[in-house]
Amino acid sequence: MTTIGLKAKAGRKKATLLLWVALFIALLSGRALYAEPGLETGTGRYMVFTAYIPPYVAPGKGGEIIGSLVEPVETFMKARKVPYKMALLPWSATYRRAVETPHALIFPVDRTAAREDRFHWIKPLVTTHYYIYGLRDKVAPTTTLEDIRTNGDLVSCTKNSIQCELLLKGGIADENILRIEGASITDRFNLMVRKRNFFTVFDPLVFAKLVERDTLDADRLIKLEKVGDMTSYLAANRRMPGKMLAPLLTATE
């Protein structure tokens, strides 16, 4: 092999090595960026995850998190004199982080048999009511969950939400449940208006706030049968270290 050939081969090896080093550094950097302070680093600070579910939780000015359930949770945490950070994420991400992060709490999360062993159920916050909604002019106002089940109609819900669990509990076949990742009301509303499916599930209080925010025509949908009442909690990751869990289980004056 010529000198030029040897130099070219050496150059390729060096370039390959540099590429692997760059990839390794990128992976480390990505991991560091993903790991918010107190989120993955095990600093002893609680991460309190929540989602945009008005009127219970919503973004305020300057990054503030507001809503009817925020103050009770903040009061609870401050009464225990523990360090915490509250983060507002899309619901699917909120739930996923809460399940994966040992020092995490989540609210509001509905307590169900399927979720019972995933969390320590710390504090009940509110009872929510869920109804089936249908596309007006396409479904009868008297439509029941049994009608939907018998007809094999598609019903949309947000992935990892109580809505999907209530549909299963109500007898809707798994293949007829449209689980939409991070689905906003606009996503589900538009699916129905475009006649992809004619049914979805909402808490009426949340529905009213979101159609107002997104300037949607609420009259396009009609509220049908109630599918369940659930109590929402502040809950802690099941693997939370005992020293962190203890203050949360301690009553205060």
Q: What pLDDT was estimated at residue 184?
A: 67
The mean pLDDT value for 181-210 works out to 84
pLDDT at 251: 72
pLDDT reading at 155 higher than 50: yes
Residue 132 shares a structural domain with residue 194: yes
Number of domains in the chain: 3
pTM across the whole model? 0.70
Q: Is 70 exceeded by the pLDDT of residue 18?
A: no
Give 156: exposed, middle or buried? Use CB within 10 Å, 0-12, 13-18, 19+: buried
Q: How confident is the model at residue 34 (pLDDT cuts 50, 70, 90)?
A: very low
pLDDT of residue 41: 41
**Do 166 and 199 fall into the same domain?**
yes
> Averaged over 129-156, what is the pLDDT?
95
Residue 38, in any domain of the structure? no
Q: For the residues 170-175, what does the mean pLDDT come to? A: 95
Predicted pLDDT of residue 7 = 47
Cα 162 to Cα 106: distance, rounded to the nearest angstrom: 14
In this prediction, residue 128 carries a pLDDT of: 92
Same domain, 132 and 226: yes
Same domain for 224 and 134? Answer: yes
- Whether the per-residue pLDDT at 176 is higher than 90: the answer is yes
Residues 66 and 132 in one domain: no
**Residue 28 banded pLDDT, cuts 50, 70, 90:** very low
* pLDDT at site 1: 52
Q: Is residue 187 situated within a structural domain?
A: yes
pLDDT band at 38 (very low <50, low <70, confident <90, very high): very low
Query: Both 106 and 121 in a single domain?
Result: yes
Specify if 120 maps to a domain.
yes
Q: Please indicate, yes or no, whether residues 178 and 192 belong to a single structural domain of this protein.
A: yes
Q: Supply angle C-alpha 112, 247, 110, rounded to 5.
A: 15
- Kindly state whether residues 118 and 243 are assigned to the same domain: yes
In this structure, are 51 and 121 located in the same domain?
yes
The CA distances from residue 101 to 41, 184, 226, 253, in Å, are 10, 25, 34, 29
Which residue segment(s) compose the domain that 190 sits in?
Answer: 128-231
Q: Which CATH number covers residue 134?
A: 3.40.190.10
The reply to whether 188 falls in a domain is: yes
157 and 214 belong to one structural domain: yes
Instruction: Note whether 226 and 237 are same-domain residues.
Output: no
φ, ψ (nearest 5 deg) of residue 197:
-155, 165
